[in-house]
Structure 1
Amino acid sequence: MSADLIARLAAALGPSGLVVEEADMAAFAIDWRRLFPGRPLCVARPASTAEVAQVVQACAAAGASIVPQGGNTGLAGGAVPDASGGQVVLSLQRMNKVRAVDPVGLTLAADAGCILKVAQDAAAEAGRLLPISLAAEGSATIGGVISTNAGGVNVLRYGMARALVLGLEAVLADGTVVDLNRRLRKDNAGYDLKQLFIGTEGTLGIVTGAVLRLVPRPRHTITALLSVPSPQAALDLLALAQEELGDTISAFELMSGFSFDLLRRHLALTPPIASGDWFVLLEAGASLSGLREAAEAALATALENGTALDGVIAETGAQAAQLWALREHITDGEAREGKSMKHDVSVPIADVPAFLDAADAAIAAGAPGALVNAFGHLGDGNIHYNVILGPGHDGAAINTLVHDVVARFAGSISAEHGIGQYRVDELIHRRAPQEIALARRLKRALDPDLRLNPGKVLPAQE
């Protein structure tokens, strides 16, 4: 059956559309963090939606499972096969085109395999902004971003990926192509079916294309780095900035002093302000003038009342990029410090300071000597609460400690990275039985043979 399936896929996709040699499949068989190695039967690389449908139909006839894969930049192992040697990886890499940009209607249509940065650049060439921005944007794909409902640094102003998807094209488990690729801002006719494929990690259908919402490109941007005495002070600074700058704020990042210690020690990156216990990186953008003056006034108030201790505003685009480099390289510094347990969690924004205190206390009591690297998107309540392990520390026990605290604050164990295979058991444990039962009913309805990305989001047998 495997030989017949490979022959059928080769006939449908041509010589450049199918990878069967183990060495050539290696890059498709393991996740970015190298935590979940797998062994695919083959890697199908369709070049069109029609070819995706052919691949899915062939796999359905053979009873083979399919693992959709975009840029394979995920942090939860959601786009890699298991080790059985029987799953087909369906890579969207060859479906990499921007289909259309409408600068008046503020839309961009793209293939699922289009690199996010390519789509951003296409929007910029039209004088518009695609406001999804994340560290992996140079390799993450539109389909992957949508399938995981990715977040990033601009969620505070523009929302998650879900908020930017106007239309969507997907292939169902039986090979049916569902064309929901409408460019409408208002469409209240029946079920919003595209939502079935956003954030569900390819378990209900394979995203092959999308229409995304663009926004006017801000003419004026301000980027500032400030040191603050505590997370509560950072929250007070956010409230002040919201009062004075309104919805021009696109990013509000919180970083611990320990995060910056890692940058200094391992990457020779030094912030341009004095050391502190906590730091905030703020960015705002507007089309009308007066933004810098308003931001300077707000930051002066923060310095005067002690909400901020020190700060600097970027004078050029290059300086702004240098400030963002501090935020973007924290994970690299952490990796050089040692093995860590990563927690992509969210709690209500007002509860972030209390959550950090409670989580720190739980780690101190339950895993003495472990180091906490806390940073993230304070503006939307998403904290990357990573714990660097020492000798004798139990990673699973640390996960439980942190997630128990998250539960106390009615938070989420995954804010933007998704469930993948990394957090399946935790999701089943943490979510209400009624919610899991509904998810299982949806899975069975759209994928009755359980062949689409098995073992991701829900256990493989479900």
Structure 2
Amino acid sequence: MIGQESIDRFVALLGPKGVTTDADDLTPWLSDWRGRYHGAAAAMLSPASTQQVAATVKLAAELGVPLVPQGGNTSMVGGATPPADGSALILSLRRMNEIRSLSPEDNLAVCEAGVILSVLHDAAEAAGRRFPLSLGAKGSATIGGLVSTNAGGTQVLRHGTMRALVEGVEAVLPDGSIFDGLDALKKDNRGYDIKQLLIGAEGTLGVVTAAALRLVPAIAARAVGWVGVDSPAQALRLLRHAEETLGDSVEGFEVIADETLGFVLGHIPGTRSPIETRTPWHVLIEVDQADLAEPGPVERLEGALADALERGIAIDAAIAANEAQAEAFWRIRESLSESERAQGPALQYDISVPVAKMPAFMVEAAAAAEARFPGTTASSFGHLGDGNVHFHVRAPRGTSDGPGWITAQGQAINAFVHDAVVAVGGSISAEHGIGQMKRAELGRLASPARIAALRAIKSAFDPQGLFNPGKLIPLPGEG
């Protein structure tokens, strides 16, 4: 445990508002968002500026105190939870919540790490722009966390992950120095790209304090459609058809099993299937335009879907008649995870496979899991255009002891699913990161060259091992 003398030195540095020690105030920040990991910490440090972050990091290095950077605490893999032994302090960036600048002319916003994603969305909209990344936790996820985990979401097909949207980064490195890389340069050939090393590093190499983010024009008009198809393979044919006929205006393309749709309709009040025909699989597609040129997105999508129906690429289709109906379509997609959880104990996987192999994987991996673990049921949904599969293996019906089932079966099911992913050239983490949940599996499955490189980079940046210990980097014996 960290002694009171050390805590007092942080209080002297940051003031009473900058250090939280009350047990009740700390409790919400000691567990991960899913409630699977629980830690302990003597205090939470909350600097209010980059300079205070730098001073805090320098003091922590002097004292040998590990720090766990934390934003909105929405990690899905235990990436922002402190160790259970109380050996680290939480470094919260939530007080640093200023949008330093937002320029429609430059299509750029410079945000501090604690800015909440939905706040940035609103600010960009007020300026006639938008930040094209959204996810279910947008009301609590912070920019620093999104950068540090290379977050994805439903718009990756057109705009990419955070790696593609971050133009510059400001961060404090483990020695307390400030890396000022906020200049949004299109060309910069000064060697290693420190910005890209920090993106997706999960706070193990540096604490992101601000980011320069790419904005795009606001949506002037959109069309949202729901299409019934007979298989994920047919959904992929529909995607390629949409890309050929609609170009890069296709912003979202989600594929959902009919069983999974049924979970939403049975769990979320007021939801209904957008199409009357019962089909084995479904596609949610969104087409956006930044102008009001004719033909508009509705007419263009109608033409593309009519052609798809005629060619036998789709079984049935509906286009939202208004914005309320469009939001209702998307509400189904955004309710999938909640509805899956309501079905009972399950293991959830955020994985990616090559796009061409995703249709077969969604069907074959589910059948293989059910055969290997009798009584379980498996299904998936995902962002077909980028190969991201959200794969679920549910406990046998009637299982009352969910934690007990996970303890008994979890390791074997994890290995089975991850082995299947690696066999098709995929990744065990698509958009949620590694954190502590997937660290050992990364060590088991990644190549020796990858593990050696990760450890070498970590050692070079953080020789004391004080930044987010126990996350991302496999421990000795794990690879």
Q: Which of 395, 411, 426 is the aligned partner of 2:426? A: 411
Asked if residue 436 in structure 1 is aligned to residue 451 in structure 2, the reply is yes
Q: Secondary structure at the match of 2:68?
A: strand
Asked if residue 175 in structure 1 is aligned to residue 176 in structure 2, the reply is yes
Distance in 2 (CA, whole Å) between partners of 1:458 and 1:191 is: 20
Uncovered stretches (5+) of structure 2, i.e. residues with no partner: 400-404
Alignment partner, residue 224 of structure 2: 223
With normalisation by structure 2, the TM-score equals 0.94
Distance in 2 (CA, whole Å) between partners of 1:276 and 1:332 is: 22
Asked if residue 335 in structure 1 is aligned to residue 341 in structure 2, the reply is yes
> 1:184 deviation in Å?
2.3
Aligned-residue Cα RMSD (Å) equals 1.4
Alignment of 1:109-258 (within 5 A): 109-258=110-259
Instruction: Confirm or deny: 8 A CA contact 1:5 1:58 kept in the other structure.
Output: no
Instruction: Confirm or deny: 8 A CA contact 1:389 1:395 kept in the other structure.
Output: no
4+ residue segments displaced more than 3 Å: 459-462
Instruction: Confirm or deny: 8 A CA contact 2:451 2:474 kept in the other structure.
Output: no
Aligned partner letter, 2:229 = V
> 1:12 deviation in Å?
1.6
With normalisation by structure 1, the TM-score equals 0.97
Asked if residue 45 in structure 1 is aligned to residue 60 in structure 2, the reply is no
> 1:461 deviation in Å?
6.4
* CA distances 1:39-82 after superposition (whole Å, capped 9, x unpaired): 11210111111111121112111111100000011100000101
Q: Secondary structure at the match of 1:326?
A: helix
* CA distances 1:339-385 after superposition (whole Å, capped 9, x unpaired): 11111111111111111232123212211221223111011110101
Distance in 2 (CA, whole Å) between partners of 1:252 and 1:258 is: 18
Q: Secondary structure at the match of 1:120?
A: helix
Alignment partner, residue 400 of structure 1: 415
Instruction: Confirm or deny: 8 A CA contact 2:135 2:154 kept in the other structure.
Output: yes
Aligned partner letter, 1:87 = A
Asked if residue 271 in structure 1 is aligned to residue 277 in structure 2, the reply is no
Q: Which of 317, 324, 327 is the aligned partner of 1:318? A: 324
* CA distances 1:168-224 after superposition (whole Å, capped 9, x unpaired): 000111111111111223333333211111001000000000100111123121111
Q: Secondary structure at the match of 2:342?
A: helix
Range that drifts further, 283-292 or 255-264 = 283-292
Instruction: Confirm or deny: 8 A CA contact 1:362 1:401 kept in the other structure.
Output: no
* CA distances 1:78-121 after superposition (whole Å, capped 9, x unpaired): 00101111211001111111110111111000000100111111
Alignment partner, residue 457 of structure 1: 472
Alignment partner, residue 19 of structure 2: 18
Distance in 2 (CA, whole Å) between partners of 1:182 and 1:358 is: 46
Q: Secondary structure at the match of 1:332?
A: helix
> 1:460 deviation in Å?
5.3
Q: Secondary structure at the match of 2:17?
A: coil
Distance in 2 (CA, whole Å) between partners of 1:96 and 1:333 is: 32
Asked if residue 80 in structure 1 is aligned to residue 81 in structure 2, the reply is yes
Q: Secondary structure at the match of 1:157?
A: helix
Alignment partner, residue 95 of structure 1: 96
In the alignment of these two chains, the number of paired residues is: 462
Alignment partner, residue 386 of structure 1: 392
Instruction: Confirm or deny: 8 A CA contact 1:334 1:373 kept in the other structure.
Output: no
Q: Secondary structure at the match of 1:434?
A: helix
Distance in 2 (CA, whole Å) between partners of 1:100 and 1:122 is: 10
Q: Secondary structure at the match of 1:394?
A: helix
Distance in 1 (CA, whole Å) between partners of 2:10 and 2:273 is: 53
Range that drifts further, 445-454 or 191-200 = 191-200
Q: Secondary structure at the match of 2:158?
A: helix
